[in-house]
Amino acid sequence: MLSRTADCLYWMARYTERAENTARMLDVNHQTSLLPQPAEFLEQSWKKLLTISKLEEAFLSKYDVVNRENVLDFMIYETSNPSSIVSCLFAARENARVIRGKITSEVWETQNTTWLELQRILEARHQSDPSRLLEWVKHRCHLFRGVLYGTMLKNEAFYFINVGTLLERADNTARILETKYEDPAALRVLGAKKSSEDGTDGEFFDFYHWAALLRSVSAFEIYRQIYSDQVTPKQVAQLLIFNKQMPRSLVSCVNELIPLISEVKNQQSKEIERLLGKLKASLDYSDIDEVFEQGLEEFIEAFLERINYIADEFSNAYLIPLAVA
């Protein structure tokens, strides 16, 4: 397969996955922001979204205040933001257009229809409900994956699409974990402040913090099925790092990547297989107690460094170099 074709397949998948991840995080944050809470907590929750995507500097160059309206506008509509939903869906559609001969007509029509429908939504953006738009984005991305699995041959094109999806998913889950766990102490302080001011239960904030994290990766119901008790930080981390049945867990993403690399082997893929094997082993032979003893933030930073290095090696081995693209 030509590297340009592989590049378009890979990035079509990554941008679609990124659009869905962004929509999910924004929707959870928007719903949570409607609950009564201290102004400091509300501002921090919107700042976290920018931190996850490393977009604080770009945001502050365009907006003076970090609030719900500005962050939603920046993360949904702003075309100068390459990670906004509009930018991601446009890039996914453009990559699909370039390689129409390698995907089925159903996959192309799904991507193209998503973009065309988005244009109509954008015309009424100031009257639209953010939650309805974000639900629509999630639905269209789910539809893309369903059509992909239902109509594509299990060939190289299919494998490159899935590699892009899994690398983006692993990166996103790790970033959410890292950011949400950064300052639980500050969260408890805000909860205590609110409790002393109006008599509400400070545990309210702790619960909704971890529940929001789980909903950001569609894992709240799964958590309840597995643990069926109160939401605790250690069990949340256990689910999102080590549970092999959880589709967005770190170990699940790594486990699914390994056979995909075997399917698209070339002379340069041996190093990628070695790196993935070492990452899989480090996850298989660790447990949640060891992770918390090491420090969750340090563990996640190490994982992000390794998975992004693997993504870079994959790009060098199969795709168009970024300097050329």
Average pLDDT over residues 51-62: 89
Q: What is the pLDDT of residue 118?
A: 94
- The DSSP 8-state label assigned to residue 181 in this structure reads T
The DSSP line for 65-82 is S-SHHHHHHHHHT-TTST
Question: What ranges do the domains of the chain cover?
Answer: 3-318
Q: How confident is the model at residue 321 (pLDDT cuts 50, 70, 90)?
A: low
CA 284 to chain centre: 23
Q: For residue 40, is pLDDT > 90?
A: no
Q: Which residue is associated with the tokens 């109006």?
A: 198
What angle do the packed helices 85-98 and 105-123 form, to 10 degrees? 150
Q: For residue 308, is pLDDT > 70?
A: yes
Choose among 147, 135, 177: nearest CA to 304. Answer: 177
Choose among 157, 312, 165: nearest CA to 253. Answer: 165
Q: How many residues does the chain have?
A: 325
Q: From CA 159, how far away is CA 176, in angstroms rounded?
A: 26
Q: What is the pLDDT of residue 199?
A: 45
Average pLDDT over residues 312-320: 90
Q: For residue 325, is pLDDT > 60?
A: no
Q: From CA 57, how far away is CA 55, in angstroms rounded?
A: 6
**pLDDT, tens digit, for every residue of 222-260?**
999 999 778 888 899 999 999 999 999 999 999 999 999
Q: What is the pLDDT of residue 4?
A: 92
Of 126 and 147, the structure prediction assigns the larger pLDDT to 147
Choose among 138, 179, 192, 130: nearest CA to 22. Answer: 138
Percentage, residues of the chain above pLDDT 90: 62
**pLDDT, tens digit, for every residue of 142-193?**
999 999 999 999 999 999 999 999 999 999 999 888 877 755 554 444 444 4
Tokens (6 digits) for 33: 């922001």
Q: Average pLDDT of the chain?
A: 87
Choose among 114, 109, 104, 218: nearest CA to 161. Answer: 104
